[in-house]
């Protein structure tokens, strides 16, 4: 019985959060990635999805996915290293390498496995991993599981990173790992600074471009394109669960590194292959991204419209060039009240509190999609004003 005592205590704590309306998790939305969703029979405007380009519901993408299901069935029913690799998996890996400007690429079943499995495969005892303090949990978990020494540097602080690099032994192999776009605040990593230090101290660089791929850069190729640094980073990683409309993840790197990961990364070897239909989804998303640049333009127009509207209402915003717009609140209770009030008014957002952000830095995380129309955005801004004034936030 004692084994599950913590579960009972946790459940009672969750119930207390629900009573205070401070629990905004595991809500049911149908369909979840659409501009307007249904929750309990009520229609709400979605400002909390990472479907930045709207590709998860794009007709071309949906049709390509359906065709793949009819041809390949619902799953590969094996690991990639045995009988779970199809022509679609191979095609997508080649396409991703071209898209990201690397020699080769490998597809994992999830983005979380991608980061965790890459770090643990490539680093071990005697090595040093240097990780930004705001990195995603998948990176943190990889750092926890590696046998390497892990040094966490202050967020985007190049002086702190250099100090930690300089204190490494010359013979130690060093890997710097950073998000390209930090998911809670939408800020960009200082990749030029990271690369400069990596070259100076003979370190490798790994970038998780989950929120940058499809949303950042002149043609949506990601954070490296934004900085004009394509081909300059050793490992460029990402996920399909944001702009690319499905589930899975990838690493782009040198061919020998990719081969090593395919045969040495335990999450790759011992996980079931992602469904062939998901590979078809991503291939179609990449086609649409290249064929319909107006989607990226629309995403940026929508983002600018929402940022300007929130600023004019008097909300405090974190500076960002991404479709992630953090509305700074500060107090956890006010943040939950804001999220609950917006939900009542027909708008879905994500409240973010510690430990996802530093204490007393709670915020409302707004995610903009290209598929939202002007009327929906205007309505959402109107509701922000109503709830913000009611709570004394603006």
What whole-number distance in Å separates Cα of residue 127 and Cα of residue 265?
Answer: 17
Of the candidates 39, 44, 22, the one whose C-alpha atom is nearest the C-alpha of residue 380 is: 44
Sheet containing strand 42-46, edge to edge, reads: 36-39, 42-46, 347-348
Of the candidates 388, 299, 369, the one whose C-alpha atom is nearest the C-alpha of residue 46 is: 369
Contact 34, 46 (CB under 8 A): yes
Catalytic residue among 183, 265, 277, 278: 183
In 73-190, alpha helices (H): 87-100, 111-122, 137-145, 158-166
* Helices and strands in the chain, H and E counts: 14, 14
For residue 218, count CB atoms less than 10 angstroms from its CB and return exposed for 0-12, middle for 13-18, buried for 19 or more. Answer: exposed
Instruction: Please provide the size of the chain in residues.
Output: 394
Contact 69, 86 (CB under 8 A): no
User: What 3-state DSSP class applies to 109?
Assistant: coil
211 catalytic per annotation: yes
Catalytic residue among 136, 195, 242, 383: 242
Sheet containing strand 362-367, edge to edge, reads: 316-317, 324-330, 362-367, 350-352
| CA distances to 67, 112, 227, 236 from 230, in Å | 33, 23, 8, 9
Of the candidates 108, 97, 51, the one whose C-alpha atom is nearest the C-alpha of residue 243 is: 51
Of the candidates 254, 248, 259, 249, the one whose C-alpha atom is nearest the C-alpha of residue 235 is: 254
What whole-number distance in Å separates Cα of residue 39 and Cα of residue 249?
Answer: 29
What whole-number distance in Å separates Cα of residue 129 and Cα of residue 118?
Answer: 12
Catalytic residue among 89, 211, 226, 307: 211
Catalytic amino acids? 183, 211, 242
């Amino acid at each position: 019985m004692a084994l599950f005592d913590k579960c009972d205590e946790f459940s009672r704590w969750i119930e207390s959060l629900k009573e205070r309306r401070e629990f905004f998790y595991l809500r049911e939305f149908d369909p979840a990635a659409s501009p307007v969703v249904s929750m309990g029979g009520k229609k709400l405007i979605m400002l909390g999805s990472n479907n930045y380009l709207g590709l998860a519901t794009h007709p071309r993408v949906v049709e390509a996915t359906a065709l793949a299901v009819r041809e390949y069935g619902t799953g590969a029913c094996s690991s990639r290293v045995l009988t779970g690799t199809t022509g679609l998996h191979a095609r997508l890996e080649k396409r991703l390498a071209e898209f990201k400007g690397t020699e080769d690429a490998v597809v994992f079943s999830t983005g979380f496995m991608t980061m965790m499995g890459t770090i643990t495969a490539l680093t071990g005892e005697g090595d040093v991993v240097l990780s930004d303090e705001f990195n995603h949990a998948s990176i943190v978990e990889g750092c926890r599981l590696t046998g390497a020494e892990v040094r966490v540097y202050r967020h985007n602080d190049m002086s702190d990173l250099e100090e930690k690099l300089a204190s490494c032994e010359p013979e130690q192999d060093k890997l710097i790992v950073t998000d390209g776009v930090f998911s809670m605040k939408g800020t960009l990593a200082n990749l030029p600074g990271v690369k400069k230090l990596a070259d100076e101290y003979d370190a490798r660089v790994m970038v998780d471009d989950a929120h940058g791929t499809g949303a950042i850069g002149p043609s949506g190729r990601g954070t490296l394109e934004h900085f004009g640094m394509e081909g300059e980073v050793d490992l460029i990683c990402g996920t399909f669960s944001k702009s690319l409309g499905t589930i899975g993840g990838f690493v782009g790197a040198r061919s020998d590194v990719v081969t090593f990961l395919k045969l040495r990364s335990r999450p790759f070897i011992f996980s079931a292959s992602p469904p062939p239909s998901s590979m078809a989804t991503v291939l179609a998303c990449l086609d649409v991204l290249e064929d319909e640049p107006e989607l990226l333009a629309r995403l940026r127009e929508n983002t600018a419209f929402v940022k300007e509207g929130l600023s004019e209402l008097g909300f405090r915003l974190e500076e960002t060039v991404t479709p992630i717009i953090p509305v700074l609140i500060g107090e956890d209770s006010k943040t939950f009240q804001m999220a609950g009030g917006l939900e009542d008014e027909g708008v879905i957002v994500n409240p973010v509190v510690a430990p996802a952000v530093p204490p007393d830095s709670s915020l409302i995380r707004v995610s903009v999609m290209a598929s939202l129309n002007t009327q929906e955005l205007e309505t959402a801004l109107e509701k922000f004003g109503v709830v913000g004034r009611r709570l004394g936030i603006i």
